[in-house]
Structure 1
Amino acid sequence: MRGVFALAGSGLAIIMAQSPAFAQSASTDAAAPRNNEASATQDQAGIQDIVVTAQRTSTTVQRTPATIEVLNPTDLVARGVGSLNDALSNVSGVYIQSNNKGLNVNIRGVGTGLDSAAGDPGVNTNIDGVYYRQASTIASGLYDLDRIEVLKGPQGTLYGRNATGGAVNVLTADPTFDFGYRAAITVGNYSLLRTDAAINVPLSSTLAVRAAFGSESRDGYYDTGQDDADRKGGRLKVLWTPSSSLRLLAGVSYSHDGGVGPGTISVSEPEGSRHAVVNHLPAGQLDAKLLTVFGNLEWDAGPVRVTFIPTYSHYLYDYIGTNTSFYSQQRAREKQFSSELRFSSPVGSPISWVAGLYYYNDDLANYSNLLDLGVINDQPNLKTRSYAAFSDVTAKVTDSFRIIGGVRYTKDNKKQIGTTVVGGGVTVGPFDGVLKSNAVNFRLGAQLDLTPTVMAYATYATGYKAGGFVPDEPGYNTFKPERLRSLEGGIKSRLFGNSLQLNAAGFYYNYDNYQVSSLGFAHYGGLSALVFNSQGKTKIYGLEFQASYQATSDDQIGLTLSLMHSEFGTFIIPATPVTPATDVSGKKLPSAPSLSGSAFYQHDWHIGEGKITARADTYFSTSYWSEFSHAPNSQRPGYTRTDLSVTYYGDNGLWSVGAFVKNIENSWVVSLKANTAVGDYFLQPPRTFGATLTLKN
């Protein structure tokens, strides 16, 4: 790592040496547009500025003191990306684990091993400003997108609990007062059929509605037909602006995921195999539904801006079939209500501030039945109540120097009620309990404009992730809250007349009671999510680089690199019925390769009022562990994955037709390893290809 820091220092010297060549300054804060693909400012040559709301105020990526990557819908559609899993797999430093209940997001080695009732995620996932405990519940929401923002590093002050690794913001298009429509249809191998459509209708000068629909169906990636897709969703938004100072948005969305369900690969299969584990029992069936009702009130009251976001969602999950070599049934019913009230300074104030209150209410009923072993895991019901108050301030000391400060108080209450029934009707438990915890998190930092287009920043922040219950485990029925101290410093720059963008960041994390989770066998024989706390301090540190070069008006090149070191402190994993106690002290964290990154090249050919865009993307990673206990066969070799796309945009972009290929190498990328006696793998998609037609007005 010493050589890497030397390289970073050399890069800083180069940036400062080139400062006289700067042609333009970064754009100032502006209201963030929400009308599809308008998040990049259009009034400058070279690399465009991208406006985000990641810090609860509107600013550009280059002016935000944090590491942020933004994905826009035009690129995603052209490259054949149709799911949150696919989209985030293209971001360096982000690792996706998927299993039978959806996907889990890890950023810089921080996240969760499972999407389950046992623990909360380490990455805060939101859609249109609303937090969802399970990222899988919004996996069908990638239609009629405005953008996806990926924030790396702890976001505890503004995003609260369960943001120790970062945050993912999925933002969908809002209604506007211009009539318009857009539609995209994609076909491909594995009988892929994907649709994405929306229509926007202004009903008056103050009232507009927008309706959107998305769907995807395809055959399974496994020889058995498992790991297929059968999902659809719809969304309706209504916007009312009775005055220039008041904006009311209300909406409802519904999604359904079906199909055969997931499949796994045995560890004994050779690499490249797609022969799913077969237990000679009936094929599975997935049935997951999500209904959400949401609102957003924005009122400009003069010296203060008021925002109120209430949301209610109801999630039903039902899966029966093959799951890690056994035939099981899993059901979940989750009702979530949240509301956030924010007060903020007007745009352009010398002191930019935001303060607010937050309430979160989640009721989860979980049930699983391991049928072929004669064991029933009736997992306890879990009730969560969370309350928070927060404030964040950025104050301008001089025209080029700003200081940052924020604080958040969180109070969590969790209650578990339930029993486990084993073979013969014998009841064990009950596994009841109440957990209460609270935390005060803060961040301190500074921003310095070294030149009009070079900004350096440094932040120190703390984070917190709530503790919880481990269903069916008498020996370790609860686990402690996770707490974090982090330090990050970085530099963001534009060079050579806005044609070259160079960003770099270094980070250091120090965790107490770091939470890890795994899929394994509980004491009464059932397949369960197991969560443990490390006894010593867990450390993660690294460097990230991002470069974009607009070589000509038609040629763009990009490169990202993520270098990371991680290690557990003292950490002895308790024994389970099928695995002995394991000492992983000093070993690497899962989902944390030492080196990963991506590169792309894009070229445009102009033909009359249209153009052809060709793009090549490659992603690479060194070896990594897919399971925290470092069990046999859980270390995966490094890989490269390359995607190609070519698209013709006609009539100045009003329609397009294109083709894509993803994972040309057909790389065998392990998403998750189940820590069971069988030791199965969940895999990322193989090579896929297809074509897309889009229309818009």
Structure 2
Amino acid sequence: MPKTFWLLSAGLTALAAPAYAQDQPQPGTATTTTDAATTAQDDTGAGQNEIVITAQGRRQLLQDVPLAVQAVGAEQLQNSGATDIRQLNQLAPSLLVSSTGTEANGSARIRGIGTVGDNPGLESSVAVFIDGVYRSRSGIGLNELGEIERVEVLRGPQGTLFGRNASAGLIHVITRRPEFEFGGMAELTYGNYNYVRAQGAVTGPISEALAFRLDAVYARRDGFYDVVNASGGTEDEVNDRNRLFVRGQLLFEPSDALSIRIIGDYTTREESCCGAVYTQLRETFDPTPGVPGDFSVAASNRIVGVLQSLGGIFPSAGDPYNREIAITPGTSYEGKTEEWGVSGQIDWDIGGATLTSITAYRDYRSEQPGDVDYNNVDILRRNDDGNAFRQFQTFSQELRLQGSAFNGFLDWLVGGYFASENLDLSDNLSFGSQYGAFAACRLVATVNPTAALRNPALPGCLSPAGRAALSAQLGAAAPIILAGIDRLSTVNNVGDNTANYFQDSTNWAIFTHNIFNITDELSITLGLRYTSEKKDFSANFNNTNTICPVQQAFFAPFITGGAAALPPALQSLAQGIVNLTCQGNSSASLNALNLEDERDEDEWTGTAVLSYRPNNRLLVYGSYSRGYKAGGFNLDRSALGLPIFSPTDPRNIGGRGAPFGTLNLQFDPEIVDAYEVGFKWTNRNFTLNFAAFHQEFTNFQLNTFNGSVFLVQNINGCGADLGSTDSDQSPTSGACGVDDVEAGVLSTGFEVEAALYPHRDITITAGFTYANTRYRDNLVGRDTGTPLDPALFLLPGDNLSNAPEYVVTTSFAWTPEIGSSGLSALVYADARLTGDYNTGSDLFPEKEQDGYAIVNARLGIRGPAQRWAIELWAQNLFDVDYQQVAFSTPFQGSGPNNNTVAQVQQFGAPTSAFANQFTSAFLAEPRTFGITGRFRF
């Protein structure tokens, strides 16, 4: 609280508010306030702060919509330097968009709620739409946008309108339409890191009824990370940019009653993304938040010693923000993304009602190799052979019919939606050439920390002295254990040759959204939607890890409890050996599996809103809404079962009480019940909006990395007191009776928004969001009350990851005239002030991020009617260092999230021997600056 109090004070002082889309018309561009309603003013309204939005499927003034919705216009996005939805963070305090392992893995959060991780089997809690067309995952929206009209950010569940249900909110990008007057623009930008961006657009008539528009963007930039060991074809920079975007449109308007808009777009990206730096190399578990650079790179740190013995280096040691990394020679982060799509929207006034049809097809494919152990030791990799990719092919059709009845008493809307999505995921994740030596050395170092006992060049990573010492320590079990360690050390260059996952999803819905105007002041909105979802899943594997099934078969007699069983401590050690050999269920035994399954879901969602307008200035409302996000399949072999048993072993029981197979991959739909009250105040030169909300999430879908594998689990609360059983290391304790299961995630808070126009040349906006987004004190897994996974022991009672309690945004724009020549200046700055939050989904304290403030600024001079402009700009002006997401470095920490902890501890090793914590992070961008020239005609 002390660290964030100043944020609260700053926000209130600045009249906390959002960024409204108040764009002045420019030559060759359309304004968003062309309705007659927007020009009708009295002494209570101001034309400059009125904007038309379509958040409720209708064209309405923003201040007349009883929803928490924010609209950001093209001019403010341009001033802030936003070129994709990630940069909306600077203008929307309730929104946080971040990217992690690849640019395809972007995650959007609203009010602290979002989908974590990069598993494409999970849909987005925050849906992204572009021109009414759903993008399959929010990361797909991290792309150049071209010229846009506005962006609408709807906060809270959207369970009635739009193509897909969204449990936390949605982002809707509306692009510039073709115009029947010839015009266009050209823009060129150059900045540091050799940043070059060129953008152009042209629009005009083809005939009296047909107009066209063409937008194109090219952008490239050097990487933010320097590779210190670059040689032999290894990249010397990572996190660069290389993008090409083209969008073409046709607008056919043969009469006032009919409008047909056809859009086609194509995008290609070839970018080296995404590197990560070490932020923590700790010897012991530290229950207090760490400080980036809190390292212990010394021989006393066993895993550091193991990595150094294999040639490991730590270029970010002591200063992760030097942005220096080391990668395994021959590996690459060079990903390739290609996306294209076509859509057609028909708006037809059929007399007494308007029919809207949106038809779309989209194809998205992203290939992403990577050195996914994030260091130069070859432990884990995805090769650049074209076999690591994800592809979405989506067809969608939406129909809406709307009109009014009973002399305006009823504003009605009915509709239907259908979508077919084919998801193909191929993976080639494999152990590297040094994994066997690393895993064996790590195990030996955990049992006995004496460095002289290890030799990574010898079988089992055992020197002669080490083999003798362990033989004496193990006694009669020495031949068994040592044979297993020796085999472990040979697990090199094996894994998925190809692992293929297929998911075909069919979604259809019918919905209605109706506004009853009881009186001129009082309205009731009722919306209802029925959704039917079916997902067909299949998977097959070609895994080359033949050592895993050998280990499983060899150790099975010794860990079954029979006559040949080892003592409990040694059984645990044997299980640890098998786990390290078969991490993530990497096993040739998978090749015999051809998995198939399906899911069927039916869900009712909707909304009810009561709104009251006592006068032309004030709108007061209260609402209830129910949202839904579909369940699905975890597209990750690590979720299939326990790696210590073979796939066909009857003891391999998963979280659903089912054998090794598809039931262990499934997760249930996420449901949210949300309550909101608020008001909107509108005056000639001032708007002030307020919304208070409370949201309860049942079966919250969490995806987290535990240092070895990704876990997908539904999170629920328990009405009964579980004591500390949901925070212990046991996978069986902490169950809850079915009747006591309740929502597990709560989001409660308020949002204040204001915009001030003290002079025709000055616009001041600000926004303040307080969101207490947290887990309940007593947590369980599924809605059946199964125990919480031990890796999530820090979750009960804490805030969600990437969910700061306080966020303040402000912006200032001044466009004074220069003399009488028609020239004008631009003085612009915006800021986002964020409170403390944890960036790791397991909430490990070393992943805490202190509060920070980001400032963007722009200075420019503009010609008459803004036909040309030259601007100097800076993003992250004060070069603030912060991390987007921190994570347990793969296989390089044996902290409380690792499944070998209990096993090694039972063998008798002291706590300090296994409590090493390695944390890495994907850093946010440093300061960038440059110059932009723009010309309009």
- Shared fold per TM-score greater than 0.5: yes
Q: Indicate yes or no: 2:706 matched with 1:514.
A: no
Counterpart for residue 62 of structure 1: 63
Give the equivalent residue in structure 1 for 2:402.
344
Q: How does 1:423-438 map to 2 (within 5 A)?
A: 423-424=544-545, 426-428=588-590, 429-438=593-602
Alignment partner of 1:544 out of 728, 751, 754 = 751
Q: Provide the identity percentage.
A: 24
Q: Deviations over 1:65-119 (max 9, x none)?
A: 1112222222222332222212344310111120212411110111111243220
Question: What are the superposed Cα offsets for residues 235-282 of structure 1, whole Å, 9 maximum, x if unpaired?
Answer: 111111222211111121100011222111222343533123533343
**1:405-554 equivalences in 2 (<5 Å):** 405-424=526-545, 426-428=588-590, 429-471=593-635, 472=637, 473-474=639-640, 475=654, 476-495=664-683, 498-519=684-705, 529-536=710-717, 537=743, 538-554=745-761
Contact 1:262 1:323 in 2 (8 A): no
* Farther-moved stretch of structure 1 (72-81 vs 354-363): 72-81
In the alignment, which residue of structure 2 is the partner of 1:49?
50
Q: Is contact 1:314-1:333 (8 Å) kept?
A: yes
SS for the counterpart of 2:77 is helix
Distance 2:883 2:372 in 1: 16
Q: Which runs of 4+ in 1 moved over 6 A?
A: 32-35, 573-576
Partner amino acid, structure 2, of 1:406: G
CA–CA distance in structure 2, aligned partners of residues 262 and 271 of structure 1: 15
* Alignment partners' CA distance in 2, 1:648 and 1:154: 42
The amino acid that maps onto 1:480 is D
Q: Which residue of 2 aligns with 1:603?
A: 814
Q: Which residue of 1 aligns with 2:507?
A: 386
AA paired with 2:929? F
User: Which of 313, 328, 331 in structure 2 is aligned with 1:279?
Assistant: 328
Give, in whole Å, the separation in 2 of the partners of 1:489 and 1:566: 18
Q: C-alpha distance in 1, partners of 2:27/2:512? A: 25
- The one-letter code sitting in structure 1 at the alignment partner of 2:99 is S
* Superposed counterparts of 1:79-90, under 5 Å: 79-90=80-91
Letter in 2 for 1:484: V
Q: Counterparts of 1:553 and 1:46 in 2: how far apart (Å)?
A: 11
Asked whether 1:561 is paired with 2:765, we answer no
Query: How far does residue 140 in structure 1 lie from its aligned partner after superposition?
Result: 2.4
The one-letter code of the counterpart of 1:142 is L
Deviation track 1:609-657 (CA, whole Å, cap 9, x = no partner) reads 1210101211111111112211242211111111111122211111111
1:48 maps to amino acid:
N
Per the alignment, residue 139 of structure 1 pairs with 142
The verdict on how the C-alpha distance between 1:141 and 1:687 changes in structure 2, with shifts beyond 3 A counting, is closer
The CA deviation at 1:677 is 3.9
Deviation string, structure 1 residues 585-620 (Cα, Å, up to 9, x no partner)? 222111211111111222222113121010121111
C-alpha contact 1:119 1:531 (8 A) present in aligned 2 = no
CA deviations 1:111-154 (Å, max 9, x no partner) are 11124322010011000000011123232241021111111111
What displacement does 1:455 show?
A: 0.6
Q: Which structure has the higher relative contact order (CA within 8 Å, separation 6+)?
A: 2
Relative distance call for 1:323 and 1:649 in structure 2 (3 A) is farther
Distance 1:413 1:596, change over 3 A: same
**Cα offset for 1:680?**
2.4
Provide the secondary structure at the position in 2 that maps to 1:486: strand
Cα separation, partners in 2 of 1:33 and 1:60, compared to 1, 3 Å = farther
8 Å CA contact 1:80–1:690 kept in 2: the answer is no
1:65-144 → structure 2 map (5 Å cutoff): 65-99=66-100, 100=102, 101-144=104-147
Match of 1:684, as an amino acid? A
Aligned equivalents of 1:163, 1:125: Cα separation in 2 = 9
Q: 1:637-656 to 2 correspondence within 5 Å?
A: 637-656=850-869
User: What's the counterpart of residue 571 of structure 1?
Assistant: 779
Contact 1:416 1:432 in 2 (8 A): yes
TM superposition shift of 1:161:
4.0
**Aligned pair in 2 of structure 1 residues 211, 161: CA closer, same or farther (>3 Å)?**
closer
CA pair 520-468 structure 1, distance change in 2 beyond 3 A: farther
Question: Per the alignment, do residues 572 and 396 of structure 1 end up closer, same or farther by CA in structure 2, a change over 3 Å counting?
Answer: closer
| Aligned CA distance change for structure 1 residues 411 and 691 (closer, same or farther; 3 Å) | same
Further displaced range: 376-385 or 407-416: 376-385
Deviation at 1:454, TM superposition (A): 0.9
Equivalent residue number for residue 327 of structure 1: 381
* Cα distance per residue 1:170-203 (max 9 Å; x no partner): 1111112111111222111111111221111201
User: Retained in 1: the 8 A contact 2:106–2:140?
Assistant: no
The structure whose Rg is larger is 2
Aligned to 2:369, the other structure's residue is in SS state: strand
Equivalence for 1:304: 353
CA positional deviation for 1:672: 2.0
Matches within 5 A, 1:226-265: 226-265=238-277
Structure showing the higher helix proportion among its residues: 2
State how far apart, in whole Å, the 2-side matches of 1:573 and 1:420 are: 28
CA contact (8 A) 2:80 2:829 kept: no
Supply the distance in 1 between the matched residues of 2:925 and 2:47 (Cα, whole angstroms). Answer: 35
In structure 2, the partner of 1:682 is 922
Please report how far the alpha carbon of residue 34 of structure 1 lies from its aligned counterpart in structure 2 after TM superposition: 14
Deviation of 1:579 (Å): 7.7
Q: Is the 8 A contact 1:93 1:597 kept in 2?
A: no
CA gap of 1:580–1:398, structure 2 versus 1, over 3 A, is closer
Query: Aligned pair in 2 of structure 1 residues 338, 654: CA closer, same or farther (>3 Å)?
Result: same
* Two-structure CA RMSD over aligned residues (Å): 2.7
Task: Provide the C-alpha distance between the structure 2 equivalents of 1:214 and 1:579, rounded to a whole number of angstroms.
Answer: 47
Is the aligned partner of 1:370 residue 2:429? yes
SS in structure 2 opposite 1:322? coil
Which letter maps to 2:401?
Answer: F
Q: Tell me the CA shift for residue 47 of structure 1.
A: 4.3
The aligned amino acid for 2:182 is F
Aligned equivalents of 1:246 and 1:581: distance in 2?
A: 55
8 A contact 1:78–1:692 mirrored in 2: no
Quick one: distance in 2 between partners of 1:638 and 1:324?
28
Counterpart amino acid of 1:336? T
Q: 1:67 to 1:295 in 2, by over 3 A?
A: same
The aligned residue for residue 445 of structure 2 is: none
SS of the equivalent of 1:321 reads coil
Corresponding residue SS for 2:63: helix
Question: What secondary structure does 1:204 align onto?
Answer: coil
| Aligned residue pairs, count | 663
CA contact (8 A) 2:861 2:871 kept: yes
Q: Please report how far the alpha carbon of residue 491 of structure 1 lies from its aligned counterpart in structure 2 after TM superposition.
A: 0.6
SS in 1 for 2:75: helix
* C-alpha contact (below 8 Å) 1:614/1:647 kept by paired residues: yes
Q: Secondary structure at the match of 2:797?
A: coil
Partner SS for 1:450: coil
Secondary structure (helix, strand or coil) at the match of 1:633 reads helix
Higher alpha-carbon deviation: 342-351 or 456-465? 342-351
1:367-414 deviation line (CA, Å, top 9, x unaligned): 122244422161411111111000001111111111110000001111
Report if aligned partners of 2:28, 2:181 keep a CA contact under 8 Å in 1. Answer: no
Closer/same/farther in 2, CA of residues 530 and 323 from structure 1, 3 Å limit: same
- Equivalent position SS for 1:530: strand
Please say which of residues 424-433 and 400-409 is displaced more in the overlay.
424-433
Higher mean displacement: 513-522 or 214-223: 513-522
Structure 1: runs of 5 or more not aligned: 15-31
What is the match of residue 204 of structure 1? 207
CA separation of 1:396 and 1:277: change in aligned 2, threshold 3 A: farther
Cα contact 1:46–1:499 (8 A) shared by 2: no
Taking structure 2 as the reference length, the TM-score comes to 0.68
